[in-house]
Structure 1
Amino acid sequence: MPQYAILVQPSANRVYTQNAARLLSNELLALDDLLLGGRVAAAGGPVERRLGGVPYLVLDAPDLTVDDLRVLANLSSLFALFELRDDGSLLPLDAPRLDRYDDDLLTILKYIGKTNEQLTRLLLNLTAAAALPVEGFLGSRVRVLDPMCGRGTTLNQALMYGWDAYGVDVDRRDVEAYTAFAARWLQDKRLKHRSSSSRVRVAGRNLGRRTTFELAATKDEYRAGDVQTLEITQGDTLDTDRMYRAGFFDVVVADAPYGIQHGSVTGPRTPSRSPRDLLTDAIPVWTTVLRRGGAMGLSWNTKVLPREDLVAMLRDAGLEPLDGPAFLGLAHRVDQAIERDVVVARKPR
């Protein structure tokens, strides 16, 4: 039976690195359940081993197809993928990621409160896998919404995958900073693109200001009209269902305010330190713009909102939380005041 070894990518965040192998293992099992037919789990699942003093995840995986290996290649903390030979040697495997752009799209921006890029990839991977078949995950144009996008970590990861990225945020400074970054990055990379800005008005009410970029990885794709959309709206997340039509998005992903270092916001001028209040109001709005069969993924601080309470909110909004063992093994410490967890829920068809 073929054996594979996954070299775990170290994180710049020391605390996240301590949890990376466990999180990667549960992410792999979740993707196995959603996209790979459970074949990895049936063969015993991944086991953490140290080879040459370095942590790897080792798994028996019979009959994995090329597309299966492509799924594995996109794991959030995978640094390299190998076939583990009987003699203990490692054969590097060429399993291409979905990545379409240089990785500085994800790493160049540094600021206080930025979500770890590996956690962002994990959250987006699991949510998209819950919404899409394997061929859709690997090859379709997915519409991703981050309704609390901040300075765009999720938007950048969606763009990296070749997907369409939409963000809403109430903080004008964050939106302006991200918009300026996107424009500069596109120019520096000499990527063909066009941009436009406009007010978002509905029924005579001004809901915010929107900037839209249309871009492509190559000139040929741009000329053929095969472009990605990046759209950022400065406005209240509770107006998202007025900004976009019902069922517009395949995936909704958000890193909720932690209620400690970051204050949540329930309106343009109404600061609140309660993520519970924000999510109670926002989840039904976000559910409206999610298509049937689509999925919502949230990360949040369990010290200010217990998991069972958030799961109840999702159920009340008509969503179906995924509660297999792999999805219940994603909690991890960020710092003394933050214990972060991840939940994914699907909208019934």
Structure 2
Amino acid sequence: MARYGLLVAPSANRVYTQSAPELMAAELAVFSERALAGRIEPAEIVEFAGRPYLTFEVEDGLGPDELRVLANLSSAYALFEMVDGGLLRPLGEPSLDRYDDDLITIQKYAGKTNEHFTKLLLNVTVLATSWAEQLLSKRFAVLDPVAGRGTTLNQALMYGWDAVGIELDGKDVEAYSAFLKTWLKNKRIKHTTDMVPLRREGKRLGRRFDARIGDVRDDPQHLSVFEADTIQSRALLKGNSVDVIVADLPYGVVHGSRSAKGLARGPQELLEEALPGWTSLLRPGGALGMSWNTHVAPRSDALDLLEEHGLEAVDFEGFEHRVDQAITRDILVARKV
């Protein structure tokens, strides 16, 4: 048996830092089950020199491709092989990341979801799809139907994938488009962008921001953000056109979700109206992952909603954690069969 130690990355958010070791242990279990044929033994949380690590064992040791898979763990800071005498030998294989990490970290605004959690939610959702073993090779199409200012979209771009967002707030769409255009220009990355009116059946719904990133001769990445109500998603995109849907839902405390019924203080009303459209966009074998405030409604209620709309719940557990006094966040994932 080869033994490894995984140093947990600190977070700017103190509360998330406290939860990160348990969350990454649950994430590591998903990586093992879905992408590494169950080869990783359950992890143990330990401290070395006052810093949290995950330690785990693997029969015959980890190969280069397996190390590349684990390099994408959301809160992984450094991976070591634990050798005789208590020494740690650093290991390194490149992750999927293709851009500088300030694409994810540079934006600062009230209500921004922790970047490590955003990556965690995207990771486990992708690993719930029928293409989990293609994590390193497949170019996934990711939809965030409540995109805000684009943290999930940026993480998808970081991985080299295509991304689509839907966001009702025009100020958020404007802020995101301005940020991405400036960032691409400053990084001297080849790109084209456009902001055009969004119309359906002769009616102006809002705007659409499009970006192509990379040389047009080399199959560039595609990103689109629709300024529209997410319950109109079926009118915006073709059916069976995305592999993954990731939604950090309103927590029903400060931020509510808008629906035909007005301001909804919990995610249930939003889901009831939006899920028919979202599931129609998801390819068979694709997965939907969402965050959920369990103080607003129990986990079982959310799972019932997903199953009512033809999705099969995936049994990923261990992701419930405290955000603040009013928010205990959990992850729920379901697959389209």
TM-score where L is the length of structure 1: 0.93
Matches within 5 A, 1:64-213: 64-213=62-211
Q: Deviations over 1:253-278 (max 9, x none)?
A: 010001101111115x9333232111
Cα drift, residue 87 of structure 1 = 1.4
Q: Could you tell me which of 325, 329, 332 is aligned with 1:343?
A: 332
Partner of 1:242: 235
**Identity, % of aligned pairs?**
51
Partner of 1:219: none
Asked if residue 271 in structure 1 is aligned to residue 263 in structure 2, the reply is yes
* Structure 1 residue ranges (4+ consecutive) displaced by more than 6 angstroms after TM superposition: none
SS of equivalent residue, structure 2 residue 103: helix
CA contact (8 A) 2:126 2:132 kept: no
Which range is displaced more, 86-95 or 154-163?
86-95
Asked if residue 320 in structure 1 is aligned to residue 318 in structure 2, the reply is no
Change in CA separation of 1:312 and 1:151 when aligned onto 2, cut-off 3 Å: same
Could you tell me how far apart the structure 1 residues matched to 2:65 and 2:193 are? Answer: 34
Could you tell me how far apart the structure 1 residues matched to 2:318 and 2:161 are? Answer: 27
Partner of 2:323: 334
Where does the alignment leave 5 or more consecutive residues of structure 1 unmatched? Answer: 217-221
The residue type equivalent to 1:315 in the other structure is: E
Q: Deviations over 1:209-236 (max 9, x none)?
A: 10100002xxxxx152321012111000
SS of equivalent residue, structure 1 residue 40: coil
CA contact (8 A) 1:143 1:165 kept: yes
SS of equivalent residue, structure 2 residue 302: helix
Cα drift, residue 58 of structure 1 = 0.5
Q: Deviations over 1:51-104 (max 9, x none)?
A: 222211011012433222111111001001111112111111112111000010
Partner of 2:40: 40
- RMSD, matched Cα: 1.3
Where does the alignment leave 5 or more consecutive residues of structure 2 unmatched? Answer: none
Asked if residue 285 in structure 1 is aligned to residue 277 in structure 2, the reply is yes
Could you tell me how far apart the structure 2 residues matched to 1:341 and 1:137 are? Answer: 23
Could you tell me how far apart the structure 2 residues matched to 1:71 and 1:332 are? Answer: 25
Which range is displaced more, 285-294 or 206-215?
206-215
SS of equivalent residue, structure 1 residue 131: coil
SS of equivalent residue, structure 1 residue 156: helix
Cα drift, residue 137 of structure 1 = 1.0
CA contact (8 A) 2:144 2:245 kept: yes
Could you tell me how far apart the structure 1 residues matched to 2:226 and 2:23 are? Answer: 32
Could you tell me how far apart the structure 1 residues matched to 2:259 and 2:53 are? Answer: 43
CA contact (8 A) 1:4 1:82 kept: yes
Partner of 2:47: 50
Could you tell me how far apart the structure 1 residues matched to 2:266 and 2:12 are? Answer: 29
Partner of 1:225: 218
SS of equivalent residue, structure 2 residue 171: helix
Cα drift, residue 283 of structure 1 = 1.6
The residue type equivalent to 2:326 in the other structure is: A
Could you tell me how far apart the structure 1 residues matched to 2:83 and 2:111 are? Answer: 42
